[in-house]
Structure formats: structure tokens, C-alpha cells
Amino acid sequence: MTQNTNKPSPEKKGDKNVKPRFNSNWIFAIIALSFILFEILFNRNVAQRATTSMIKEMIAKHDIEKLVVVNKDIAEIYLTGDAVSSGRYENLPKPGGGMGLQVPKPHYTYNIGDISNFEPFILEIQKNAGYSDSDLIYPEYITRKNYFTDILGWLILPALLIVVWLFMMRRMAGGGSGGAGGIFSVGKSRAQIFDKDTNVKINFSDVAGLEEAKTEVMEIVDFLKNPKKYTQLGGKIPKGALLIGPPGTGKTLLAKAVAGEANVPFFSISGSDFVEMFVGVGASRVRDLFKQAKEKAPCIVFIDEIDAVGRARGRNANFGSNDERENTLNQLLTEMDGFGTNMGVIILAATNRADILDRALLRAGRFDRQIHVELPDLNEREAIFKVHLRPIKLAKNFDVAFLAKQTPGFSGADIANVCNEAALIAARKNKTVVEKQDFLDAIDRIVGGLERKNKIISLQEKKTIAYHEAGHATVSWLLEHASPLVKVTIIPRGRALGAAWYLPEERQITTREQLLDEMAYALGGRAAEELVFGKVSTGALSDLEKITKQAYAMVSFFGMSDKVGNISFYDSSGQSDFGFTKPYSEKTAELIDREVKEIIEESYNRSKDVLRANMKGLTELAELLLEKEVIFGEDLERIFGKRKADKLKEEQEEKDRKMADNNTASVVTEDEVNKTATAGDPTVKDAGLKVTVDPEKPAEESTGGK
């Protein structure tokens, strides 16, 4: 016999305060038992149904003693004593009723149907059987009421409603994440608790990159493990840390690693779990969360997407739609740093919208540290690729650094998606390993969308698309600060009819010249359409949207306009999101519009000038694109030669190499002079001889006297 290991903990025998808990299952059992007893006591010995032929046979044998018609519906047939004792009729009900009451029961029942025809039918059968007028049996008519059945009928519906209500309450109490109590404990915290007994498989080794962020968070974990290391020096652990960064950069993953590394209870909850339609529920859940956290201190409380509850107060105050969220935020502020103390409770939160958070939430004492988790750079992307490539079967001598170079601006989530898509593409092609081309196809799939080779495109449209994409490629290849081209295609992907992939330079700041070159090659497609066909199309919609936003940013944010000046109207605090006024006058607005238009026109004219000077190469590139549908950077290098930026880079590298060679020659000359000086006079070996070397002049000794 298998022993049950999940036994409930036994109650103490001597504890008189332990009260028996009511189990709602007893209600279901009582109701079911009532129906069973009613069936046994009142519906046993039920008379059989008689057919018309049976009635004719009973009348012919003079076995019927009387007929009673009940409620003009049912005819009860009572047999004579001789007929009952004769044994001709089986399964007759025993005399007497339920609960010991001696109530006569009919031996058979018969459904009458039409009451007006029943009596003539019975009398006719008797006359045909030879009954005399004095022996004829006339039916008796009575009206009988069953009060118990009527009462039971009235009770069934309320009973069913009660049963359903109890069932729903039990489901709401026990199911979901609301915990015990269900609707009656709607104010209870919905946080998930992870402790040392919970198997969390993610640790810091699974978090690639984010070295600075990991250092900050690991310090918090280390404090919880070794508090004396910090307290003996008078230090205090930060009360809270806020992870800030774009979506997909690994904020939640970092929190999961903390849960896996820390040997303390870890409470995980989303900001939206505090928000409820009921008034006061959010604040109640905050109180309950911190109550649980204090009981399990030291511990960590992680609030994901805290912007759902931590939005700045006072916005849209006239509409009255923010009161409940503000009450929840006020309670959160009080619990984090109020008159009460939360010793040992560390708050860890994550958001990608730090600009809309309330300032009181961000101050020191609540969130002492703000950890910025940015998009990974080249080295970090390579490390992230190595983590996500662990379960993937790769081809031999696979170059992970190449993938990192091909994915600028990708987040950690994007890289994980690339690895998964590459594996799916390789499986679709029935490969045994995942190759480099599979990853390139995956990147194209994610960036550009799914290929639509069967899309119907006319020959003229295809030619326009080819020259449009060739214009982009030509201008970007010939301008110094434009991003180098990787691939151009005229195969439709997603909503785009053509696409070009560039490999932007990873830089932290951007100059005005670089922005103008980017705008110029973005307008190269429209410029090529105008020069070749003499008309423009709607294909440049995304390009125009991009350069318009960029031009307005140059003028109104970056101060890159001489006429507007070094002025920025950018609001980093985000407090003007709901403002109805501009921070500048109408005259300034007109000036900004003129400057933006001039910048765009200047970039457009530059694109056309570049294309006019290289029309032969543009035509060759477009025809090649029409033929192959996909071209790469090698094709552009064959047509136009090396990029200007590459030439300048090579020249600079050559200058650096020559300068390094000159420095090496200078060091060698100095060593030779020192050797010559010491060899000529043995007494100067330890005399502190100083030699000054000029590469342009012969070495001279300076002995400082004889």
C-alpha cells in the first residue's frame, strides 16, 4: 500500500482554541441525502402502468374492484382480493404507504387522455364482457393535492441557486492567483513568492552583457547574504533599485537571476496587479504585500512594469479618472519610506517609461539607485549570442562575432528571436546544423518581414522599385558619413516592396554632417525616380517620414540651425505630454518650419547631384538588381569602387602605422646611443649619464663636466 506523503499537519490535541472548520461539502451531501430519502420514503411501491388490453382483460375476468379518476388525468385501478391472491398479476405494490402510514395504494394506473371518452369506453367494455346493469363499475372522480410535492417544487429552484452560488464562491476562493478567500479577499496581494525551496533555474551566468547592471544588483544580493561586510563600516543597503531601459534589454531577466541567486524570499508582482475596478483594492494589496514581506524579512520585492501604478500624480486631474491609481501610489510611497520601517525589505522595480514616473517615487530613500539597462553594444551582443546559441547545433567554425556585427541596435530579446528563427529556418530546409546563411535569413525575416515572392507586381512598378533602391544604395555608398550597405533587394517583404539593409556605425554622438548624409541617402530613392522617370511615386513614404522627424529634431531639439540658434525645446521630464500650448511663439514655429524645409531641400539636391554624377553606375546597378533581385556590397564596390569612408579610414590607418614606425625608430636610436656612451667610458656605467636624442640630428653626449 502506497503511503500518502501529503498528509495535513496534525492539530495539537491539547489545544482547546482550535475550532472545527466548516466544510461546504456537507451542504451538497445533505441536499443529495434529502433527495434520496424522499425517493425511498414517498416514491417506493409505485404502481405499474396498465395498457388498454390489460384493462379489457381485467374487466373480462371481473378482477377490478373500483376505478378512481384523480385530477381528470390518471385512473387508479384497484383489484379485488381474489385477483391479488390468484397470482395472475406480478410485481404488485405492497399495501401501505411511506413512513409506515397505512394508506391504500392502487395496483395499476392508466393515463386517460380525453376524460369525456373514458367513462363510455369503460362501460362499453363491461357490457361487451356480459356485465349486468347492477354489476357495472362506474369511475369515481376526485381531486387530490400533493402539498409536499408542491413545497418541494418551490424549494428546488432556490436550492439549486444556493448550490451554484456556493460552488462559484468556492471556485473564486480557491482558484486563480487571488489566494484563499477569493472575492472576500480581493484586497490580498497577488505576489508570487520564490524562496530557497523554489527551483528557479536562472542565475547571473544566464545574463550576458549588462555588466554594470549586474554589478549593482549583485551587490544587493551580496548584502543580504553577508550583511556584516557592509554594516561594520557603517554602510546601509539601498532600500530600492529601479531598472530602467528599452523593452527587451533584460530587466525582467535580471530580476529572475536575482531570484535564482538570492537565498532570501523573493516576491514578484506586476504593477497592473494593484489596479482594480473596486475602490481601495490597490492600496489594500500594497499593504498586504508589505505585510507579507515584513514577516519574511530579509527579502526582495520585485514590481515589474511599475509605471502602471507609479504614473505621475496630477495629470488629467480635471477628469477624475486617476483617483484610484493615485491612492495606490500614495500607499506605495508610504510603505516604501514612511513613518513605518521596512527593515530588510528591498524593493526592485523595472520600467521602460521612467519619464512618466512620479518624482516622489524616484527620490533617494525609496529608489536609491537607478540602474540604466541600455541596448547592448558589439561585445555585449556577442556575449548574448553565445548564451542563446548554447542549445543550438551550429556548423563547424561558426563565427559568432560576425552575427554581433550584423545586428546593431538589437536588444537581448531580439537576439533570442534571431537564434530561434534561424533554427526554425534550418529545420524547414531539412538541415542537420544551423549555418551562417540561416542566421542572415532570420535577421532579414525579423527586420524586413516575410518574403512575398508571389505578390503581383507589374514590370513598370518593378523597374521603379529597382531604380528607387538603387538610388538609396548609390548615394549611401558615395557619401562619407552614410551607413555602409549590406544588401539590397526588390523582393517584397512585409508591407515594403523593396528593402535595403545598412550596417550603421556604432556611435554615442552624431554630428550635423552625419545627420545630413543620412538624410541625403534616405532621399536617394525619390531623387532617382525623378531623374530617371521624370516623376515621383508614393514609394518614398517611409523615407519622407524619417527625414521629416530627423530635420525637426535637428532644428528644435539639437540646436543645429543657425537661424533658430542654440535652443532646444526638448522636454526630458515628460511633463508636457498633456500640455495644450507650445513652448515657443507662432513666429518661431514658422521659422522652424522654414528651416526644416531648407534642410530637406538641401539634402534632396545633394542626392540628385550625386546621382547625376554617377548616372552610369546607377543604371548598371538598377539593371543588375532587376536581373538578380538581390545584390550585395561587393556588387557596389565592383561598380563604384571602394567607399570614400573606407579610403579615408585606410589613409588614417597608414598614417598611424607610419607614426608608430617613427616612434619605434626613435626608441632604437636612443638605446644605441646609450650603449655607445657607456662602452666608450667604463667609469660612466653607474654615473647617471643622460643622453638627449633628436631623430633629425646625430646623438651628442652631455657629461656634465669631467
**pLDDT tens-digit readout, 617-662:** 889 988 888 888 888 878 888 888 887 777 777 777 777 777 777 7
- Going by C-alpha positions, the residue among 399, 387, 384 that lies closest to residue 434 is 399
At residue 169 the predicted structure's pLDDT band, cuts being 50, 70 and 90, is low
At residue 594 the predicted structure's pLDDT band, cuts being 50, 70 and 90, is very high
Give whole-number Cα distances, 57 to 50, 52, 62, 125, in Å: 11, 9, 9, 10
8 A C-beta contact, residue 373 and residue 210: yes
Q: What is the mean pLDDT of residues 98-119?
A: 71
At residue 598 the predicted structure's pLDDT band, cuts being 50, 70 and 90, is very high
At residue 403 the predicted structure's pLDDT band, cuts being 50, 70 and 90, is confident
Whether 73 has a pLDDT exceeding 60, the answer reads yes
Whether 16 has a pLDDT exceeding 60, the answer reads no
pLDDT at 581: 67
Whether 667 has a pLDDT exceeding 70, the answer reads no
Highest average pLDDT, of 87-91, 421-425, 576-580, comes from 421-425
Whether 702 has a pLDDT exceeding 60, the answer reads no
Q: What is the mean pLDDT of residues 333-339?
A: 77
At residue 686 the predicted structure's pLDDT band, cuts being 50, 70 and 90, is very low
pLDDT at 527: 93
8 A C-beta contact, residue 561 and residue 555: yes
Q: What is the mean pLDDT of residues 413-434?
A: 91
391-398 long-range contacts (CB < 8 A, ≥24 apart) are 392/419, 392/422, 392/423, 392/434, 393/432, 393/433, 393/434, 394/433, 394/434, 395/433, 395/434, 395/435, 395/436, 398/436
DSSP state of 314: T
At residue 333 the predicted structure's pLDDT band, cuts being 50, 70 and 90, is confident
At residue 278 the predicted structure's pLDDT band, cuts being 50, 70 and 90, is low
Q: Any idea which of 203-217, 333-347, 448-462, 629-643 has the lowest mean pLDDT? A: 333-347
Percentage with pLDDT > 70 across the chain: 77
Q: What is the mean pLDDT of residues 676-684?
A: 44
pLDDT at 696: 40
State whether residue 199 is helix, strand or coil. coil
- Let me know how long the chain is: 706
Chain centroid to CA 335? 28
8 A C-beta contact, residue 237 and residue 229: no
* Residues with Cβ within 8 Å of residue 3, at least 6 apart in sequence: none
At residue 120 the predicted structure's pLDDT band, cuts being 50, 70 and 90, is confident
Chain centroid to CA 327? 26
Percentage with pLDDT > 90 across the chain: 11
Q: Any idea which of 91-105, 325-339, 389-403 has the lowest mean pLDDT? A: 91-105
Cell 484610484 maps to which residue? 324
Determine the Cα–Cα distance for residues 150 and 203; give it in Å rounded to an integer: 68
At residue 180 the predicted structure's pLDDT band, cuts being 50, 70 and 90, is very low
DSSP conformation letters of 96-138? S-GGG------SEEEE-S-HHHHHHHHHHHHHHTT--TTT--P
Determine the Cα–Cα distance for residues 360 and 364; give it in Å rounded to an integer: 9
Chain centroid to CA 441? 25
At residue 601 the predicted structure's pLDDT band, cuts being 50, 70 and 90, is very high
Mean pLDDT over the full length of the chain: 77
pLDDT at 556: 92
Indicate which residues carry an active-site annotation: 469
At residue 11 the predicted structure's pLDDT band, cuts being 50, 70 and 90, is very low
Q: Which residues pair with 74 in a beta bridge?
A: 70, 111
Q: Is 406 exposed, middle or buried (0-12, 13-18, 19+ CB in 10 A)?
A: middle
pTM metric for this prediction: 0.62
Q: What is the mean pLDDT of residues 224-233?
A: 81
C-alpha cell at 124: 362499453
Q: What is the mean pLDDT of residues 411-436?
A: 91
8 A C-beta contact, residue 493 and residue 448: yes
Whether 249 has a pLDDT exceeding 60, the answer reads yes
